[in-house]
A and B are shown apart, each in its own frame.
Chain A
Amino acid sequence: KAGVTQTPRYLIKTRGQQVTLSCSPISGHRSVSWYQQTPGQGLQFLFEYFSETQRNKGNFPGRFSGRQFSNSRSEMNVSTLELGDSALYLCASSHRDRPYEQYFGPGTRLTVT
C-alpha cells in the first residue's frame, strides 16, 4: 500500500506570495492532518480534516487554510507569505478505525525569501 504522498517536495516563494501544498493520504484513510515543523518551534499542529470537514484547528493565523476533497486528498494554502513561514509542512493520515495511528508523508520544504 502506498504511503502518504506530498507535492511538491520543495518550494521557494517570495514574501507576500501565496502557496498551495497538496497531500494524498494512504488509500482508505479519511482523516488528514497538517503540521508545521521548524527548528525553533518544533512540530506544531495546523488543522485536521475528516470527510471534507475541518475537525480541529491549531493556533495559526487565518493566512493558513486548508480543505479536503471527496477523495480524501487535501490541500493547504498559505496566503501573504512571511519569512517565518519557512518550514517543513507535513501531512499525516489515519484510518477511521485507528484514528490515533497517524502516518506522515515526507513533507514539503517551503522556503520564503
Chain B
Amino acid sequence: QQQVKQSPQSLIVQKGGIPIINCAYENTAFDYFPWYQQFPGKGPALLIAIRPDVSEKKEGRFTISFNKSAKQFSLHIMDSQPGDSATYFCAASKTGGGNKLTFGTGTQLKVEL
C-alpha cells in the first residue's frame, strides 16, 4: 500500500521558473511532512518540513503548501536554478511511529538554462 503518492515523476522547467511537486497521503495519523533533495551519488538531504498546524512554510527559495482537509502538500521552488536539478522526495511520519519515514516515489527535476 503506497501511503504517500507523489507527482509528477519528472519535471523540466526553465531557469527562473517555479516547479511545483505534489504529494498526497492517506494516513491521517501522519503529522510531520519533510521534503528531501537527492543528487546522484549522494544521500537525501533534508530541505524543509511542515506540520499540519500550518498551511505554508518558507525557507529561502523553498515553500511548502499544506492542505490538511485534502491530505495534500506541495513543494514550490522559487526562481529555480540549474543547481536545483535533482530528485525530490516528499515523506511523512507520525508521532509514536518512531522515526520511520514513508517516502513518495520521487520527482526528477531538471532546470534548463
Q: Quick check: B44 and A104 within 8 Å, CB to CB?
A: yes
**Closest chain A CB from B94 CB (angstroms):** 10
Q: Quick check: B101 and A42 within 8 Å, CB to CB?
A: no
**Closest chain B CB from A17 CB (angstroms):** 25
Q: Quick check: B97 and A56 within 8 Å, CB to CB?
A: yes
B68 on the interface (CB 8 Å rule)?
Answer: no
A107 on the interface (CB 8 Å rule)?
Answer: yes
A28 on the interface (CB 8 Å rule)?
Answer: no
Contact flags A77-98 to B (C-beta < 8 A → 1, else 0): 0000000000000101010000
Contacts of A44 in B (CB 8 A): 103
What CA separation (Å) do A21 and B32 show in the bound complex?
29
How many residues does chain A have at the interface if contact means C-beta atoms less than 8 Å apart?
Answer: 25
* Size category, B interface: 20 to 34
Q: Quick check: B98 and A48 within 8 Å, CB to CB?
A: yes
Contacts of A35 in B (CB 8 A): 101
Closest 7 pairs between A and B when the two form their complex, measured CB to CB: A104-B43, A56-B98, A43-B103, A55-B98, A100-B32, A45-B100, A104-B44
Please classify the interface of chain A as helix (H, G, I), strand (E, B), loop, or mixed, using the class held by over half of its residues: strand
Q: Quick check: A42 and B46 within 8 Å, CB to CB?
A: no
CB contact between B43 and one of A48, A94, A105 (< 8 Å): that residue: A105
Contact flags B27-67 to A (C-beta < 8 A → 1, else 0): 00000101010000111111001000000000000000000
What CA separation (Å) do A82 and B14 show in the bound complex?
42
A72 on the interface (CB 8 Å rule)?
Answer: no
Interface-central residue, A33, A42, A58, A103, by most chain B CB under 10 Å: A42
B85 on the interface (CB 8 Å rule)?
Answer: no
